[in-house]
Amino acid sequence: MEIHPATLEQFSATEHRFVPVRDLLAAVVRRKLRAGQDLFPDIFGLSFEKRRIVEVLATGRGVILTGRYGVAKTDLAKHVLTLLNEACAASPLFAVERCPIQEDPAILAAHRAGKKTGCQAAPCPICTHMLDDARDDCSHIVLTRLSRLEEGRGFARVQGGGDVLPEEIVGTYNLLKLAQIGDPFDPRVFEPGKIGQANRGLLFVDEIGKLPETAQHALIQAGQEGIVTPSKSRQTFPVDFLLVATTNPRDEEYLCGAVRDRLVSISIPLVGLEDEMRIAAKEAAKLKPQVYIPQLFLRLMVETVRALRADEPLELGPRASINAALIARSSAMLEGRRVASFCDAKEGMYTAILGKAFFEDKADVERRIDGVFPDIGAYLKRHLAGIDLAEIVIVFRQTHGPRAIWSAAGLRSLPASAAADACAAWCRAHEPAGRTSCAAIMAEYLAAYEKGSEGCGCRG
């Protein structure tokens, strides 16, 4: 069993050395690539962009992910944090317990021994003060293990907005506490900003283009020089972090030149149809109880969203497809069904798209949806080519009567036929249904096909 050092005195006797965050990321990425693992397994598509992100971060430079709303910019940033947490699990990281910026004890140990660490900056002034007080006995400087980076300890998020002050990013000294305590080196006097909280890990700036220019400039010193000078302070603190920022193309013009010069911009495009379907299905599958959305209904929803995507005011990114799938899933769930019907899909699609329109435009947007929405009978016949759906409908009505409701049990009780066998074969090949039976899925397709242009009583 490995024994981890609990104090700086014990740490100084180990082989631990200062390792920049960029090298921690590079190490875990190399391991995953050698093992043939996807660096961002939950992000579908974007293979080149995912590789470029880690390539840039491994240089120590920050990245700006540029793309329209809903293209997974935030998810990509979160996956960088996941990679860093894998590095923490593989190689123990330690921090000085009372340090407000989670100082690496390797920097203090090297400073104490008069050695260089590879870190550009001098140690944290608060930790240096503790080191001076300790003299030759550092057994009172307690360490803690960073087994996971989380909000405020190795990870911080800045949400872009016009009200973000530079002090929130760089930190500040609390003069009231200083007056009460009297010791400027007491950790309670310093209130770290987002940069200090992100030290040893990741700083995520969402919608950096919406930050005031003064707040953008506050990022420069820390990102370029590895130090941060808090407000109301003459002391500088060493920081080592990865910076991932996002912006919408329409806000790029608000990025100050210094930020543009020091960060590498990576464009995040929209994914293809198949990946967008996978994204929507994945999000719907997260909810309990699970409801299965047949692939052709899911495809129809996503295709409709994509057909209207050129309408800029609507801003129909992949989130519109996700919302359509979630609403379709809820529509079925509320009625106690485990397979979504065509009506559920249609309701989800109309509600999600109309939800993006201004009130006065909703009637016009609904007409545009109607214009691109295909006849479901023709749509199913085209995608289920070679399957005689009409024959199955006729046999079903002859067997169960004109008012019988389509069901898995009803389909299973039909006489064997080439058309029924073709349906089952298609379902096995195209529907990742899990526990959902092919008969239940095909029952929904056939119900939609039979109704065709008659509609189903839902919106549209």
**Which pLDDT tens digit goes with each residue over 380-424?**
999 998 899 999 999 999 999 999 999 999 999 999 889 989 988
pLDDT, mean of residues 433-448: 89
Q: Are 384 and 444 in contact (CB under 8 A)?
A: no
Token reading at 366:
């609904």
Residue tagged 């898995």 (tokens): 408
The span from the CA of 280 to the CA of 325, in Å, is: 6
SS3 135: coil
Q: Are 138 and 129 in contact (CB under 8 A)?
A: no
The pLDDT confidence band at residue 312, using thresholds 50, 70 and 90, is: low
pLDDT, mean of residues 145-164: 91
pLDDT at 320 over 80: yes
pLDDT of residue 224: 77
The span from the CA of 10 to the CA of 108, in Å, is: 13
With 0-12 / 13-18 / 19 or more C-beta atoms within 10 angstroms meaning exposed / middle / buried, residue 358 is: exposed
The span from the CA of 120 to the CA of 14, in Å, is: 22
The span from the CA of 206 to the CA of 158, in Å, is: 6
SS3 454: helix
pLDDT of residue 313: 73
Helix (H) or strand (E) segment spanning residue 203: strand 202-206
pLDDT 10s digits, 296-305:
999 999 999 9
- In single-letter form, the type of residue at position 335 comes to E
Token reading at 73:
């910019």
With 0-12 / 13-18 / 19 or more C-beta atoms within 10 angstroms meaning exposed / middle / buried, residue 331 is: buried
pLDDT at 220 over 60: yes
Token reading at 171:
């930190």
- In single-letter form, the type of residue at position 256 comes to C
pLDDT 10s digits, 361-383:
888 888 888 888 889 999 999 99
pLDDT, mean of residues 194-217: 92
The span from the CA of 236 to the CA of 121, in Å, is: 9
- In single-letter form, the type of residue at position 295 comes to Q
Q: What residues does each domain of the chain span?
A: 8-267, 273-454
The pLDDT confidence band at residue 459, using thresholds 50, 70 and 90, is: low
pLDDT, mean of residues 233-251: 88
Q: Are 114 and 134 in contact (CB under 8 A)?
A: no
Token reading at 104:
């690496």
* Cβ-proximal residues to 160 (8 Å cutoff; 6+ apart), any chain: 205, 206, 207, 208, 209, 210, 211, 247
With pLDDT > 90 as the criterion, what percentage of the chain qualifies?
A: 47
pLDDT, mean of residues 450-458: 65
The span from the CA of 132 to the CA of 162, in Å, is: 42
Q: What is the pTM of this model?
A: 0.84
The pLDDT confidence band at residue 357, using thresholds 50, 70 and 90, is: confident
The span from the CA of 238 to the CA of 106, in Å, is: 13
pLDDT 10s digits, 51-100:
999 999 998 889 999 988 888 888 999 999 999 999 988 888 899 988 88
pLDDT, mean of residues 253-258: 88
Q: Looking at domain 8-267, which CATH architecture does it have?
A: 3-Layer(aba) Sandwich (3.40)
pLDDT of residue 1: 45
The pLDDT confidence band at residue 267, using thresholds 50, 70 and 90, is: very high
The pLDDT confidence band at residue 460, using thresholds 50, 70 and 90, is: very low
pLDDT of residue 84: 93
pLDDT 10s digits, 99-143:
889 999 988 888 887 777 666 567 888 888 888 887 778 888 899
The span from the CA of 202 to the CA of 179, in Å, is: 33
Beta-sheet strands, E only, within 38-100:
62-66, 94-96
Helix (H) or strand (E) segment spanning residue 221: helix 213-225
| Mean pLDDT of all residues belonging to the chain | 88
Residue tagged 């519109």 (tokens): 320
The span from the CA of 350 to the CA of 356, in Å, is: 10
pLDDT at 454 over 70: no
The span from the CA of 57 to the CA of 60, in Å, is: 5
Indicate the range of 51-65, 110-124, 271-285, 333-347 predicted with least confidence.
110-124
Does 183 or 445 have the greater pLDDT score?
A: 445
Task: Evaluate the CA torsion angle 172, 176, 181, 184 in order and state its sign.
Answer: positive
Q: Pick left, alpha or beta for residue 448 (phi over 0 → left; psi -120 to 50 → alpha; otherwise beta).
A: alpha
* Cβ-proximal residues to 45 (8 Å cutoff; 6+ apart), any chain: 271, 272, 275
